[in-house]
A and B are shown apart, each in its own frame.
Chain A
Amino acid sequence: MIEKEKWWDPNMSSQEMDEILSLALFKDIDAAKFPVQSSLSTIIYKHTRLLNYLEGEVIIRAGDYGNSAFLIVAGNVGVILPTTVPQGIFGTAVKQPTNWFKEIAKLWRNPSYPEVRPLKQTISDTVVIHTDDDRTRVFIQNFSSVVEQIQEVIINLSAGDMVGEIAALTRTPRTAHVIASSDCLLLEIRWQAIHALRKYNDEFRKRIDALYRKNSLDALRTLPIFSRLEKHEQDNLISHTLFESYGEFDWHENYKDEVDQDRSSLLKHETLIVDEGDYADGLLLINSGVARVSHHYNHGYRIIKYLNKGDGFGLRTIIHNWKNHDNSPLPVSLHAVGYTNVMRVPSHIIEALVLPRMTAEEIDILLVERKNTYLAKMDYTRELRLADGMLDFMSDFRYINGSASMLIDLDRCIRCDECVNACAVGHNNNPRFNRHGRRYDHFMVANACMHCHDPVCMIGCPTGAIYREPDGQVAINDNTCIGCSTCANSCPYENIKMVQVRNAEGEFRQDAMSLRQVVKASKCDLCVGQLDGPACQRACPHDALKRIDLFELSTLIKEVE
């Protein structure tokens, strides 16, 4: 018997297995190409499940993050681009307008009990949520009339079609809403299965790579060094580009287990992409996730900088080798921090298409950078006037994931808690963070939602209650949160807490059906929907507290100074 993870459809029958293996996607796959320990049937058994959806049920919401793709086995689904329908129609939150009077009224209107939430009879005007022991389903209310209104913008898919594979592989937001147009049967395929199928099956790899290319096309074309190429040259370059993934998709699970142990245990999970001394066989472009550039220092690696989406690695060495007819190796290493997707443009393509278009001045600048920075093995931390080891601290604990981390300079903080009070005033007297956290030197990264670049908390929310605002803030829609704790369990930094909510009289609210106490996820929302930016930062009288993107070294240096 193959051991299957508890939550992942433990009741799949052999009949269902046969049914899945007979699907068009799998029936022509050469099972012999799969290794014994991860055979095709093992992968399907462990990482797929059949799910039935009812007409009007939401399968995927645009903007959500997910770790699985869906293959349509029977029935029809509709794909709807988010720009073509009104905001909020699929249960995503819509900002409520506020004004000065409403904000001032918080001073006396805020409840005296903790976690008081307004009692709503309906969860949303447009969606309805059904929860049973099996799973939570989200339906569009009055589906047929909604379909009539948006008929012309629905793209219909049927049996054999697949949705969501690129978002699942690259950890990027879903780009469209997917709704069950009729009762249908879908095969949910987890990222592990998609990876394995791509690795051992040529057809599947071609299909995925074609999708990758299509999706990455625009991103590649707009990169400054490629934008000057002719269209046919860009197409040629893209056709030679390889797509690779490094690191652990579920890095947050190991992180939570090991964060309080020795820091080296965290580092061992950082997969090496290319090592110092390797031949520069291509320009590496970060497609998603984060990577760290470092060089060997005694028995370890000393960090130089981080790279994220759109950044490149290896260009300077390629230029050097091309210009000097040399074969110099890479002077620095590149590691995946968490889960990183990389596009590799082969060196010979860069040499043939890109370098001849660069000016002598551009080339000289890059070569000087290579000499002064990378070959000189400069201590970047010192050069940047940061405290020794600060970059390593930010990277090791994955704080570089935060786009709006709460960084407190403890040498300036007078512990007055005005930040906590301001947060409480803005959120019904409930502060959404703890002025406590891991310290490095005189800086503290407080336990407040960091609004991560890679928001693992958003993976798997059954109702899409946790969502990202257009400006990047990650927030929770109270009306659609069902208190399942998925987000709180996923957050590696433990910045989401589950709270029992009360009515205005201070009594704990109970679910009318199950009689269980109502629980909601609670976290910093960066004061989204309020009149001004984050109240904590605004209220700090000594400029000790800043919400900053720790990935951006320039921001960090500015604040540290």
Chain B
Amino acid sequence: MQLAKRRIYNSLLSLSLIVVLLLILDFYGTPVYRMQVWSGWILLSLIVFLLLYNVRKKLTMLPLGRVAFWMQCHAYLGLVSGVIFLQHINFRVPSGYFECLLALAFIATAATGIIGLILSRIIPKFLTRRGEEVIFERIPLHTATLRVQAQALIIDCAETTKSEVLFEYYQQHLATYFFGPQNVLYHLSGSTTPWHHMLIKHQTFCRFLSDKEQEYADQLQTLMKQKDDLDFHYALQGMLKAWPFLHFPLSFVLFIFSLLHIVLVYAFIGDI
């Protein structure tokens, strides 16, 4: 199925599910407390199912359907759970500290999930269109390789031209740049300002070079660009890898809080 068609199909299916669940709640939901009990249990079931996605990801060796299918279910049922959550809290800010905390846990989990989904749709396109394809864990290795190449270039230049000007320039302006990831926040915000500043500085410096030194400076600029692309991949791939570390713990916190909430509800529900 085409992705656009799939998106429409899944959205319609989710919408239908929301309508059906709301109708059920409306039908069985009098008095109000009964509706909240029903919506609570539905919500817990949905949270458990959403948590199962992570379990499925670990059990890739079992024929339990493709993870991509589970991911679709996870995303769209996440959306459904958001509506049921609003219904459960009766579209009001909950009263009581624990209930507020629980609602915040839900909102935070949902928000990180939505942000993560948006990031995972946007960032890959940027990564594809810039620099070489690199594996995140190997970025330090590539950085070290570029550093070694740059240093070798500088030394070669000094030996060939008997001039230390490029060496000094490297030491002052580029040694730190080639040492590790740089300008992470700029790359995350999509800004190329640091690179342009560096380029202007480099071009200004090049005005004072001999033809031979210029050849080395041009090669150095190529390495600088490669390093900039590497930093870009580090920042964006790092972001893609980092956000689940926010979403997963929050979802477990939400699950634990939900269980506590049920215990408290049934402890104090009384004879109603």
Question: Do A and B come together as binding partners?
Answer: yes
- Enumerate chain A interface residues (CB-CB to B < 8 A): 100, 103-104, 106-107, 410-418, 421-422, 425-426, 435-436, 439, 442, 444, 530-532, 535, 537-544, 561
Candidate in A413, A415, A416, A422 with the most chain B CB atoms within 10 angstroms: A415
- A528 nearest CB across to chain B (Å): 13
- Verify if B269 is at the interface (C-beta below 8 Å from A): no
Interface pairs (18), CB distance under 8 Å: A104-B59, A106-B61, A107-B59, A410-B133, A411-B125, A411-B128, A414-B124, A415-B124, A415-B136, A416-B240, A418-B57, A425-B60, A426-B60, A444-B133, A532-B62, A532-B63, A538-B66, A543-B66
What DSSP secondary structure best describes chain B's contact surface?
helix
Q: Are B67 and A414 in contact (CB under 8 A)?
A: no
Q: Are A561 and B127 in contact (CB under 8 A)?
A: no
Q: Are B124 and A411 in contact (CB under 8 A)?
A: yes
Q: Which residue of B2, B67, B123 is within 8 Å of A539 (Cβ)?
A: B67
Total inter-chain residue pairs, C-beta < 8 Å: 84
Contact with A along B87-122 (1 / 0, CB 8 A): 000000000000000000000000000000000100
Q: Are A413 and B124 in contact (CB under 8 A)?
A: yes
Closest to A419 in B: B60
Q: Which residue of A104, A425, A538 is within 8 Å of B67 (Cβ)?
A: A538
- Enumerate chain B interface residues (CB-CB to A < 8 A): 2-3, 57-63, 66-68, 70-71, 120, 123-125, 127-129, 133, 135-136, 237, 240-241
Please report the C-alpha to C-alpha distance between residue A106 and residue B240 in the assembled complex, in whole angstroms: 28
Q: Are B57 and A415 in contact (CB under 8 A)?
A: no
Candidate in B59, B61, B129, B133 with the most chain A CB atoms within 10 angstroms: B61
Q: Are B135 and A436 in contact (CB under 8 A)?
A: yes
- A527 nearest CB across to chain B (Å): 9
Please name all residues of chain B whose beta carbon is closer than 8 Å to the beta carbon of A544 when the two chains form the complex. 124
- B236 nearest CB across to chain A (Å): 9
With A415-B136, A435-B135, A540-B67: A100-B62 Cβ-Cβ less than 8 Å = yes
Please name all residues of chain B whose beta carbon is closer than 8 Å to the beta carbon of A537 when the two chains form the complex. 66
Please report the C-alpha to C-alpha distance between residue A539 and residue B54 in the assembled complex, in whole angstroms: 11
Q: Are B127 and A410 in contact (CB under 8 A)?
A: yes
Q: Are A426 and B61 in contact (CB under 8 A)?
A: yes
Top 8 A-B residue pairs of the complex, sorted by shortest distance between their CB atoms: A532-B63, A422-B60, A410-B128, A541-B71, A103-B61, A543-B68, A539-B60, A414-B120
- A471 nearest CB across to chain B (Å): 16
Closest to A527 in B: B61
Please name all residues of chain B whose beta carbon is closer than 8 Å to the beta carbon of A532 when the two chains form the complex. 61-63
Q: Are B133 and A531 in contact (CB under 8 A)?
A: no
- B7 nearest CB across to chain A (Å): 12
Please report the C-alpha to C-alpha distance between residue A322 and residue B159 in the assembled complex, in whole angstroms: 77
Please report the C-alpha to C-alpha distance between residue A225 and residue B31 in the assembled complex, in whole angstroms: 74
With A410-B124, A412-B124, A444-B133: A418-B67 Cβ-Cβ less than 8 Å = yes
Closest to B70 in A: A541
Please report the C-alpha to C-alpha distance between residue A554 and residue B118 in the assembled complex, in whole angstroms: 30
Q: Which residue of A425, A542, A561 is within 8 Å of B2 (Cβ)?
A: A561
Q: Are A541 and B67 in contact (CB under 8 A)?
A: yes
Please report the C-alpha to C-alpha distance between residue A106 and residue B61 in the assembled complex, in whole angstroms: 9
- A18 nearest CB across to chain B (Å): 59
Please report the C-alpha to C-alpha distance between residue A415 and residue B67 in the assembled complex, in whole angstroms: 15
Q: Are B62 and A541 in contact (CB under 8 A)?
A: no
- B219 nearest CB across to chain A (Å): 21
With A436-B133, A541-B71: A104-B61 Cβ-Cβ less than 8 Å = yes
Please name all residues of chain B whose beta carbon is closer than 8 Å to the beta carbon of A542 when the two chains form the complex. 68, 71, 120
Closest to B5 in A: A561
Please name all residues of chain A whose beta carbon is closer than 8 Å to the beta carbon of B133 when the two chains form the complex. 410, 436, 439, 444
Please report the C-alpha to C-alpha distance between residue A425 and residue B241 in the assembled complex, in whole angstroms: 20
